Amino acid sequence: MKTVVLKFGGTSVGTIERIKKVANIISFYKKKRFKVIVISSAIGGITNDLIKKSKLISNNFDKAEYDSLLASGEQAACALIAGRLNHLGYKSRSWMAWQIPILTKGPHNNSRIYKIKKNQILNFIRTGGVPIITGFQGINDEARITTLGRGGSDASAIIVAKFFKAEKCIIYTDVEGVYTTDPKINSKAKKIDKISYDDMLEMASLGSKVMQPSSVQDGKLHKIDILVRSSFKKKSGTLITSSKNSLSNQIITGISSTKNDSKVTIVGVKDKPGVAASIFKPLSLNQINVDMVVQNISLNGKETDMTFTIKSEDLKKTQKIIKDNKKISFRKLAYDKNVSKVSIIGVGMVTTPGITYRMFQALAEKRINIMVISTSEIKISVLISNKQTKKAVAALHKEFKLD
């Protein structure tokens, strides 16, 4: 009998009726004679509610206690799923990550799984049982509960699939799969049947909310094929796999866009060796992620304008850090919160000439001004006014024949 790992997201276990449906999905795989391991997120909304409670208690809530608090959400969901399976006549029980144990390293709120002690789970499966394991968490060397950060339940499922040599890792969520772009922005978006790890990684990092980048990276690193499908509709879903197994002949796989970027420009910086490091080091130390960077040198070579993008929630902190930075001298600090990053993604662009021109021409025909450009082997990103995001996505979706 082959092993399958099924992961259910918060919306999939959001109500009692949905939990009953999850139990029916698990029953389907048991009837197909699979050994089934289930990973569950917390019931939808529970984690956010716990976060709010921690903030009401303290603005500086202890990180270890924060992890212990948030980890309680998955416990309830797993117990309810196991309870329903027992009701249906299956042998099932819930397992907290620390009971197995699932061992982690790294800081609280952002740990990584490095080992799973498998004996208890394997013995339970051998007796016909269905283990329901809490996602998003583990236990460190100090016997403290840790959490894996955003998308942590996906990461749990992928690592469990690796350790238990599962044939499949299926992520059940509230969408039917991965789309060429956000269907809420462009109604002509279509579901992708197969996508490479690299394309999915770029789409996830550039705004696609189906999976977190770290989880896709784990799948790629451990060569675990990931099937994303809906827990509400019987559709085929999207397979995330290696490039050689991806059958798509599309040059461009998808179009992504962001909503919460801000552009920062430091005008008239005294140009000297090390000035860029002096600007970005304190931002890095304060956990501020800098994305698109453009530097313009003046004709006399004495000054430079430095433009970069950050997440909007980091804008106030960034402004303060730059103003307090005694290692740089500049004339003006400007910012723009009304921007959006739009990107085209596809491993096919590496060997296909003219992609850059086609992208810029399609935007020019819609009179969309480009502020900043950033490129890699499999993506081109542009920064534009957020008022033009929908129009830009539609134009590029049509240009690259994704409609």
- Of how many residues is the chain composed? 403
Give the residue ranges of the chain where pLDDT is below 70: 207-208, 243-249
CATH of domain 3-174: 3.40.1160.10
CA 382 to chain CA centroid, Å, is: 20
Task: Please report, for the chain, the start and end positions of each structural domain, with discontinuous segments joined by +.
Answer: 3-174, 257-399
Say what the pLDDT of residue 242 is.
Answer: 85
Say what the pLDDT of residue 345 is.
Answer: 93
| Residue 260 C-beta-side C-alpha neighbours within 13 Å | 8
Say what the pLDDT of residue 244 is.
Answer: 66
pLDDT digits (tens, 9 = 90+) for 147-183: 998 889 999 999 999 999 999 899 999 889 999 998 8
Asked if 402 contacts 190 with a C-beta cutoff of 8 angstroms, the reply is yes
CA angle 151–84–29, rounded 5-degree value:
70
Amino acid symbol at 108: H
- Of 288, 286, 326, 292, whose CA–CA distance to 308 is shortest? 292
CB atoms within 10 A of CB 1: 10
Say what the pLDDT of residue 121 is.
Answer: 98
Amino acid symbol at 384: I
Q: What is the DSSP letter of 208?
A: -
| Residue 157 C-beta-side C-alpha neighbours within 13 Å | 31
CB atoms within 10 A of CB 315: 19
Amino acid symbol at 283: L
Say what the pLDDT of residue 183 is.
Answer: 86
CA angle 115–118–122, rounded 5-degree value:
160
CA angle 207–210–214, rounded 5-degree value:
75
Tell me the CATH number of domain 257-399, given options 3.90.1150.10, 2.40.110.10, 3.30.465.10, 3.30.2130.10: 3.30.2130.10
* Residues 6 or more apart whose Cβ sits within 8 Å of residue 56: none
Output Rg (C-alpha) for the chain, integer angstroms: 23
Residue recorded with tokens 């469990």:
160
